[in-house]
Every structure is written in C-alpha cells, then in structure tokens.
C-alpha cells in the first residue's frame, strides 16, 4: 500500500492542528492507484473538520491549492492524478485580501 506525505500549510494547518488529528506533515496510506481526489475523500471521512474546511464531499474547496511533489495540480486534473509511494502532497490555502 503506497504511503504519501501530506503537508498542511497556513490556516488549514492551524484549524486541523486544533483537532489534534493531524500535525503539519503526516503520512497517509492509500490504496494502489489512488488519486489525489480519492485521498482527500479518505481524509474527509476520517475527520469532519477536514471535510468541512478542505474538502466538500466532491472537490477541494475553492480556497485550497494542491501541490504534488512541488508542482501545482490543476483542479481539473485532481481526479485523474495518481499517487505513488513517497509522493508529497501540500495543501496550500489561497490567501485573499489586501
């Protein structure tokens, strides 16, 4: 079973650290052939807060960017992008304001 490392950044990390469920970086075991979207569904089932602030049942929130091994993943590609053992996924919040 492949294991990927997930890194939470900014307010995403702060809100999920408060639940005690996830540190800033943590390993996630995924089934062989899992996609980024599938991994997010798995995390949303495991933690209600993740489901509310990061992943809304079918897609990442509009305010979350996904970076895979240092490369931005287009929102239209998240359902097709397969994860491999050792991949690093960063969930990066979009910062708004001025």
pLDDT in tens, 28-83: 999 999 999 999 999 888 888 888 888 877 788 888 999 999 999 999 999 999 99
The confidence band for 97, taking pLDDT boundaries of 50, 70 and 90, is low
The boundaries of the domain holding residue 51 are: 3-93
pLDDT of residue 50: 85
pLDDT of residue 55: 83
The enclosing domain of 8 has a CATH number of 3.10.20.30
With H, G, I as helix, E, B as strand and everything else as coil, classify residue 89.
strand
pLDDT of residue 72: 96
Q: In total, how many domains does the chain have?
A: 1
Query: Under a CB-based contact definition with an 8 Å cutoff, are residues 30 and 42 in contact?
Result: yes
Q: Which residues of 40-76 are buried (b: 16+ CB within 10 A; e: fewer)?
A: bbbbbeebeebbebbbeeeebeeebebebeeeebeee
DSSP 94: P
Q: What are phi and psi of 13, to 5 degrees?
A: -60, -45
In a domain, 17, yes or no: yes
95 or 55, greater pLDDT = 55
In a domain, 98, yes or no: no
81 or 95, greater pLDDT = 81
């Amino acid at each position: 079973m492949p294991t990927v490392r997930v890194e939470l950044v900014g307010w995403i990390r702060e809100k999920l650290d408060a639940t005690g469920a996830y540190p800033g970086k943590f390993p996630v075991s995924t089934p062989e052939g899992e996609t980024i979207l599938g991994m997010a569904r798995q995390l949303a089932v495991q933690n209600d807060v993740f489901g509310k602030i990061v992943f809304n049942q079918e897609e990442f929130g509009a305010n979350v960017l996904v970076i895979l091994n240092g490369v931005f993943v287009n929102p239209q590609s998240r359902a097709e992008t397969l994860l491999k053992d050792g991949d690093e996924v960063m969930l990066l919040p979009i910062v708004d304001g001025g």
